[in-house]
Structure 1
Amino acid sequence: MTEGNDSAATVAELVDRARICMLTTMTPDGQHVARPMAVQEVEFDGDLWFFAYAESEKVGEIGANPQVNVSFSNPKQSEWTSIAGTAEIVIDPAKAEELWSAPLRAWFPDGPKSPGLVLLKVHADTAEYWSGPSSKVVRLLGAARAAIARDPDKFPADNETVNLSGNPS
């Protein structure tokens, strides 16, 4: 696992390019549940922000078990990112106003003042990312080379785990 500004900056770029993610929580009976979400803050600084309704299942699940995973996929660029962290439920009308964007009105018709609206803040602890060449030809050649060598490490892709919490692991 690495730490450092360059690695964290890479994670921030990957999150920014993907924008849509799957937020995974855990049900009371221990089942993982993932649902699509849109990240609300453009600048990833180690925290991810989402809008939700207080009465939603995901909010209840986070209240009971705040450990979550947020996964991003950007297949056009051959990029995948998985972020593990701790979520908290935030009631902050000023922050909701700051993060608000017009497309959210489809889910929250009364805007940031929608009754029952809460924010979910995910504090990222670690991120793992995979980034390969965006060229299909290079990917195919790399896959062929890895298959012939029977060595998946021959596939031309970056894979790194990054500590984002600042705590040594």
Structure 2
Amino acid sequence: MTDESTAADGRQRVTELIRQARICMLTTIGVDGRMMSRPMGLQEAEFDGDLWFFAHADSAKVRQIRVNPEVNVAFSDQRHHAWVSIAGTAQEGFDRARAERLWNPLLKAWFPDGLDTPGLTLIKVHATSAEYWDSPGGTVVTLFGFAKAAVTGKPPKVGENHGVDY
């Protein structure tokens, strides 16, 4: 297997894992230098290196992105024992055509006027790297690994950890 096919496989696995999780924590850097995280719903499951989120243009996260665009997006899928951390650069801006493609009726809970909500904007996070932890064996294998570790005193092997560059 070539390095390029290995990288492509890693990017494909990241895509699968974030598609399953859908909810993430977006971490920005405040003007005082502190990191701040909040839950966000991913708006596009087809991951090509960019993640999309709806937001209010006057929100703290958008103001923080304008000052320091370096962000992290972390996904946790407890059902599949998988975690993904994506480092990237964010930018904010409203693109009506893209917003129409990304819109989901469930978003009305946060944006009651739909795409016409005053101050509605999009956040695009362009991934620069990702790291994932994957436990493809499922719950039984993971629990067995923990039980074995408790008996043997050796750390459990509960899955794989890989890094991916974009």
How high is the TM-score relative to the length of structure 1?
Answer: 0.90
Any idea what the Cα deviations from partners look like across 1:130-167, whole Å, max 9, x if unmatched? Answer: 11145333112212334455443x51301101112xxx
* Structure 1 alignment gaps of length 5 or more: 165-169
Aligned to 2:34: 31
Q: Are residues 1:161 and 2:163 paired?
A: yes
CA contact (8 A) 2:18 2:84 kept: yes
Q: Which runs of 4+ in 1 moved over 6 A?
A: none
Aligned to 1:75: 78
Task: Assess, with a 3 A threshold, how the Cα gap between structure 1 residues 42 and 135 changes in structure 2: closer, same or farther.
Answer: closer
Any idea what the Cα deviations from partners look like across 1:80-115, whole Å, max 9, x if unmatched? Answer: 110000000122111111111100011111111211
Aligned to 1:167: none
Q: Are residues 1:105 and 2:108 paired?
A: yes
Match runs of 1:20-169 below 5 Å: 20-152=23-155, 154-164=156-166
Mean CA deviation greater in 11-20 or 94-103: 94-103
CA contact (8 A) 1:21 1:72 kept: yes
Give the SS at the match of 2:79: helix
Shift of 1:21: 0.4
* Pairwise CA RMSD: 1.6
Mean CA deviation greater in 52-61 or 133-142: 133-142
Query: Which letter does structure 2 place at the counterpart of 1:162?
Result: V
* Structure 2 alignment gaps of length 5 or more: none
CA contact (8 A) 2:80 2:139 kept: no
Give the SS at the match of 2:32: coil
Query: Which letter does structure 1 place at the counterpart of 2:113?
Result: D
Aligned equivalent of 1:6, options 9, 13, 24: 9
Measure the CA separation in 1 of the matches of 2:90 and 2:109: 24
Give the SS at the match of 1:30: coil
How high is the TM-score relative to the length of structure 2?
Answer: 0.91
Mean CA deviation greater in 154-163 or 21-30: 154-163
CA contact (8 A) 1:93 1:113 kept: no
Query: Which letter does structure 2 place at the counterpart of 1:157?
Result: G
